[in-house]
């Protein structure tokens, strides 16, 4: 949905320069927006009433946040996939009842939802009171994520089950003549059913067509003694001459109708099987055929309805999970900022959206602006690692593979 290089945000916490958050923000804006047009930046409002707790609790929570954020990102990706895949999937339209296929019209605007959630984030005080312990807020967030995960599994299971049933029904009417149901092929005038005659349906391989036509009338005879013939035994074929009729044909088989004597039909069927031809047991029942066609249409409609419901629900859930993700990232920014910069809390949180092919330049500007203000320990750590800290989450406080002289988390919607 996004072009290459788009859909990437950085959620960052920048050390305060000159003792003023506003001065820090103005400097970032000047260097990355006004001077070079490298990015779009948005302030991230971290509630001032978030509770710090003890150092041990922050360290423990920092480890948990890495795992929980990854879980939220995974759920978000699954919901996003459902919205996009099923919105572009060809299915029976909800308004149509004739089995025609159409694309679902309401493809969700996920780009708009992404931008709204990240660029205009506001802490939901009613849902996650900021004056409560941070661990409690994290637990509430994850409870909602787990509920969404479970609900998604149920809805996917319902849709997959319906889709499997429809596929099985479709295979019956769309396979080869050797396996598909033939009720939709046979017409009433193709069937002969009287007191003495009945109809057989045979599946003949294409390569044996000539042999079948040449021999089928001679497979079995009916013997009787005729007084008109001096009491001699007479033999006549149990097959009505020239009654073989092709009802359908595919690349491998032909479906033949053959009329035979009712009393000898089992003999004819046995002989047909011995000669390698498949006998399709069939009773012409137009009412049953009509019911089957109606059932098929109802199942198609049910699958289309379930698919649309899945898309609608996934979009609603996606918005909720985006909000949960941003709440979790805000908590991570707060925790890592305390661990990085110390107390009292003094940092400028922001969301940076680097312009296409400008990521490296933005990183360089930020490193130049804030690298000189980091501690000697940070500088030595960078030198020891060839310019990088000793580890992603620990040194950078960000969880990214690369580390920087500020807290940074990457939100990538283009995975």
Q: Give the model's pLDDT for residue 175.
A: 73
398 pLDDT above the threshold of 50: no
In residues, how long is the chain?
Answer: 415
Look at the block and give the residue holding tokens 């002989």: 271
Task: Pick 229 or 39 by higher pLDDT.
Answer: 39
Quick one: CA torsion of 49, 53, 59, 60, rounded to 10 degrees?
A: -100
Least trusted range by pLDDT, from 94-98, 187-191, 399-403: 94-98
394 pLDDT above the threshold of 60: no
**Residues with Cβ < 8 Å from 160, sequence gap 6 or more?**
none
Look at the block and give the residue holding tokens 């294409």: 206
How is residue 413 annotated by DSSP?
S
235 pLDDT above the threshold of 60: yes
Backbone φ/ψ region at 347: left (φ over 0), alpha (ψ -120 to 50), beta: beta
Average pLDDT over residues 163-192: 82
Q: Give the model's pLDDT for residue 375.
A: 52
Q: How far apart are CA 280 and CA 202, in angstroms?
A: 6
Per residue in 249-304, pLDDT tens?
A: 989 999 999 999 999 999 999 999 999 999 998 887 777 767 777 878 888 898 98
Question: Against a cut of 0.85, is the pTM above it?
Answer: no
How is residue 43 annotated by DSSP?
E
Alpha helices in 225-285 (DSSP H): 265-274
Look at residues 59, 10, 52 and name the one whose alpha carbon lies nearest to residue 358.
10
Burial class (CB in 10 A: 0-12, 13-18, 19+), 251: exposed
Quick one: CA torsion of 383, 384, 387, 392, rounded to 10 degrees?
A: -140
Burial class (CB in 10 A: 0-12, 13-18, 19+), 112: exposed
Helix (H) or strand (E) holding 81: helix 55-87
Residue 16 has phi, psi (to 5 degrees) of -75, 130
Q: Give the model's pLDDT for residue 53.
A: 85
Q: How far apart are CA 166 and CA 178, in angstroms?
A: 20
Instruction: For residue 34, give both structure tokens.
Output: 């006004």
Strand partners, 224: 234
Per residue in 132-166, pLDDT tens?
A: 999 999 999 999 999 999 999 999 999 999 988 88
Alpha helices in 88-119 (DSSP H): 110-119
Q: How far apart are CA 282 and CA 284, in angstroms?
A: 6
Q: Give the model's pLDDT for residue 233.
A: 63
Look at residues 23, 26, 28 and name the one whose alpha carbon lies nearest to residue 406.
28
User: Measured between alpha carbons, how far is residue 98 from residues 105, 184, 188, 296 in Å?
Assistant: 18, 16, 24, 11
Q: How far apart are CA 240 and CA 236, in angstroms?
A: 10
Q: Give the model's pLDDT for residue 231.
A: 59
Per residue in 348-381, pLDDT tens?
A: 999 999 998 999 999 999 999 888 765 544 444 4
Look at the block and give the residue holding tokens 């029904």: 169
Structural contact between residues 10 and 119, judged by C-beta atoms closer than 8 angstroms: no
DSSP structure string for 270-335 = HHHHHTTPEEE-----HHHHHHHHHHHHHHHHHHHHHHHHHHHHHHHHHHHHHHHHHHHHHHHHHH
Instruction: For residue 71, give both structure tokens.
Output: 């879980």
101 pLDDT above the threshold of 90: no
User: Measured between alpha carbons, how far is residue 42 from residues 12, 26, 199 in Å?
Assistant: 10, 12, 79
Strand partners, 245: 257
Instruction: For residue 329, give both structure tokens.
Output: 């990232």
User: Measured between alpha carbons, how far is residue 262 from residues 146, 199, 284 in Å?
Assistant: 65, 8, 16
Least trusted range by pLDDT, from 44-53, 261-270, 393-402: 393-402
Average pLDDT over residues 233-246: 86
- Helices 55-87 + 286-341 axis angle, to 10: 150
Instruction: For residue 220, give both structure tokens.
Output: 């079995």
Residue 219 has phi, psi (to 5 degrees) of -65, -35
Please tell me whether the peptide bond between 344 and the residue prior to it is cis, using omega within 30 degrees of 0. Answer: yes
């Amino acid at each position: 949905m996004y072009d290459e290089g788009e859909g990437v945000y950085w959620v960052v916490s920048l050390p305060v320069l000159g003792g003023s958050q506003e001065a820090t923000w103005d400097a970032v804006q000047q260097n990355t927006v006004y001077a070079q047009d490298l990015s779009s930046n948005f302030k991230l409002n971290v509630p001032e009433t978030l509770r710090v707790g003890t150092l041990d609790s922050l360290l423990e929570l920092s480890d948990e946040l890495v795992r929980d954020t990854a879980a939220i990102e995974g759920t978000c990706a699954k919901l996003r996939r459902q919205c996009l895949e099923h919105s572009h999937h060809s299915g029976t339209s909800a308004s149509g009842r004739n089995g025609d296929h159409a694309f679902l019209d309401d493809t969700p605007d996920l780009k708009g939802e992404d931008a709204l959630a990240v660029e205009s984030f506001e802490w939901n005080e009613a849902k996650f009171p900021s004056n409560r312990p941070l661990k409690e807020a994290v637990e509430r967030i994850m409870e909602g994520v787990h509920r969404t995960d479970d609900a998604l599994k149920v809805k996917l299971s319902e849709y997959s089950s319906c889709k499997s049933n429809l596929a099985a029904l479709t295979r019956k009417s769309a396979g080869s003549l050797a396996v598909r149901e033939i009720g939709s092929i046979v017409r009433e005038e193709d069937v002969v059913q009287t007191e003495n005659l009945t109809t057989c349906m045979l599946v003949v391989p294409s390569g044996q067509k000539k042999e079948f036509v040449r021999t089928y009338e001679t497979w079995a005879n009916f013997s009787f003694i005729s007084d008109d013939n001096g009491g001699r035994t007479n033999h006549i074929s149990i097959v009505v001459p020239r009654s073989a009729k092709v009802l359908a044909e595919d690349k491998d088989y032909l479906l033949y109708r053959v009329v035979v004597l009712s009393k000898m039909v089992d003999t004819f069927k046995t002989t047909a099987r011995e000669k390698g031809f498949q006998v399709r047991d069939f009773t012409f029942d137009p009412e049953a055929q009509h019911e089957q066609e109606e059932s098929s249409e109802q199942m198609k409609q049910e699958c289309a309805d379930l698919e649309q419901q899945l898309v609608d629900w996934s979009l609603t859930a996606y918005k909720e999970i985006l909000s949960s993700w941003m709440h979790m990232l805000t908590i991570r920014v707060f925790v890592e900022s305390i661990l990085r910069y110390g107390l009292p809390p003094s940092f400028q949180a922001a969301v940076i959206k680097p312009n296409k092919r400008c990521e490296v330049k933005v990183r360089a500007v930020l490193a130049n602006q804030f690298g000189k203000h980091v501690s000697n320990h940070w500088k030595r750590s960078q030198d020891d690692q060839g310019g990088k800290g000793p580890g992603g989450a620990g040194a950078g406080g960000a969880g990214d593979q690369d580390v920087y002289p500020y807290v940074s988390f990457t939100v990538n919607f283009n995975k």
